[in-house]
Structure 1
Amino acid sequence: MAAPDKIRIVLVDDQALIRKGLRYILDLQPDMEVAGEASTGEEGVELARRTSPDLVLMDIRMPGLTGIEATRSIAETLPDTRVVLLTTFDVENYVFDGIRAGASGYLLKDLNTEEMLAGLRAMHRGATLFNSTTAKKALAQLVSPPPGAEEGGFPDDPLLEPLTERETEVLQLLAYGKRNAEISALLHISEGTTKTHIHHIIQKLGALDRTQAVVIGIRRKLVL
């Protein structure tokens, strides 16, 4: 059984050699443990649901259920599990789709070992990491005001309903990468109440998920 302070990671990649190499590296780390491996998106979703890992390293291009689709499924059912897209392809559309699906990170497979491990530890602490030139450019576009918008506002895209003070606090903590349990502890509310606030935030911002809600919140300057 894993030590309670270990970062539990699931590997999802259709190439056995990639999974073997990642497992070898991760199992050498005193603060990490591989909770399981999957070779397809479908298997990855099922494995994540069974093991509730801290992180999922997800390949994007796989036969059947793609990594983006699998990420969306995991994000919807396991909000405290963070999905990191790991890919050979530095493609802008993958970044956009990954963010919208709920991914917390986007790393290239040619990243050196030290940078990858540092990135995974940072994401486990709550950071969001899109570690490639294309990914950073795509993320910058997402948080930039749309063409024609007035500085600091979005007159053509009004809020469906203003956020309450508490909802703004929750959104701020989401932007910091805090998980539901952490938000509950910091605000001294139950996890059920936290989930309700997040649901209301997503609805009011017209977002598809919590990640998109954060992006919209940054664009609207609702969070710092």
Structure 2
Amino acid sequence: MDPLHVLVVEDHPLFRKGVVALLDAHPDLTVAGVCVSGEDAVAQAAELRPDVVLMDLQLPGISGIEATRAIVGVDPDVRVLVLSLFEDEDSVFLALRAGARGYVLKDADEDEIISAIRAVARGEAIFSQAVAGRVLAFFAQPRQTPKVFPGLTDREREILALIAQGRPNPAIAHSLSLSPKTVANYVSAIFAKLQVADRAEAMIRAREAGLGS
């Protein structure tokens, strides 16, 4: 079986040297190239077409996030594995959205890094334990259902729902204990915010959004 070709993207000389030595110690892995900047990583990835790109996030020039996005944009088959000091949610999710297949911390032991490279090469998603915990916690959080027509106030949304039911202004005023003039002002504001010409159009928009049922 041919060895996996790994492109190392790391600007810190000592850490870069250690990663290269680690890869050289495994016969099934070979260093396809070494980069010290994001721009160089994008260029070499396009030229060398490695199996895996081992990507640092803090780089001179464009960031590892931007480099990942550019590399995957050109060749989606290239697997990017982030190797970073940062375990905050912003860094992790920005990397994943950019197209990274895995995220391993630099304090991981050597076996974990090697296993992660092999895993992403097989098409798996892989994370350091601390990062995996953050990912799971993020998706375990309850998600709030977004409000329909968020540009409207709660009262305007309430009145729009009554419009969707076909109620005229006097009936809405009676239902909400408001004066007819106040309701008329609310209705005018609703029409302006929704950019509708008349009551019929507002009713259609509201019903399409699930109001008034």
TM-score range, shorter chain: 0.5 to 0.7
Structure 2 residue 36 is matched with structure 1 residue 39: yes
**Residues 102 and 141 of structure 1: CA distance in aligned 2, closer, same or farther (over 3 Å):** farther
C-alpha contact 1:96 1:138 (8 A) present in aligned 2: no
Structure 2 residue 32 is matched with structure 1 residue 20: no
- SS of match in other structure, 2:91: helix
Instruction: Give the Cα separation in 2 of the matches to 1:144 and 1:91.
Output: 17
**Residues 28 and 128 of structure 1: CA distance in aligned 2, closer, same or farther (over 3 Å):** same
C-alpha contact 1:36 1:47 (8 A) present in aligned 2: yes
TM-score norm. by structure 2 comes to 0.64
C-alpha contact 1:27 1:34 (8 A) present in aligned 2: yes
> Looking at CA atoms only, which structure, 1 or 2, has the larger radius of gyration?
2
135, 149, 169: which one aligns with 1:139: 135
Deviation at 1:155, TM superposition (A): 11
Partner of 1:167: none
C-alpha contact 1:104 1:123 (8 A) present in aligned 2: yes
Give the ranges of 4+ consecutive aligned residues of structure 1 lying more than 3 Å apart after TM superposition: 141-146
C-alpha contact 2:55 2:82 (8 A) present in aligned 1: yes
Structure 2 residue 68 is matched with structure 1 residue 71: yes
TM-score norm. by structure 1 comes to 0.61
- Let me know the Cα RMSD of the aligned residues: 2.0
Deviation at 1:137, TM superposition (A): 3.5
Instruction: Give the Cα separation in 2 of the matches to 1:94 and 1:108.
Output: 11
For 2:69, the aligned partner's letter is R
Instruction: Give the Cα separation in 1 of the matches to 2:63 and 2:72.
Output: 14
- SS of match in other structure, 2:81: strand
- SS of match in other structure, 1:48: helix
Instruction: Give the Cα separation in 2 of the matches to 1:141 and 1:28.
Output: 36
Deviation at 1:118, TM superposition (A): 1.2
Percent identity, please: 39
For 2:96, the aligned partner's letter is I
Q: How does 1:1-224 map to 2 (within 5 A)?
A: 5-133=2-130, 135-140=131-136, 143-144=139-140, 147-149=143-145
Deviation at 1:139, TM superposition (A): 2.3
Deviation at 1:122, TM superposition (A): 1.4
For 1:23, the aligned partner's letter is V
Q: Which has the higher contact order (CA 8 A, sep 6+)?
A: 1
**Residues 112 and 142 of structure 1: CA distance in aligned 2, closer, same or farther (over 3 Å):** same
Q: How many residues align?
A: 148
Structure 2, unpaired ranges of 5+ = 149-213
Instruction: Give the Cα separation in 2 of the matches to 1:66 and 1:132.
Output: 24
Instruction: Give the Cα separation in 1 of the matches to 2:5 and 2:60.
Output: 25
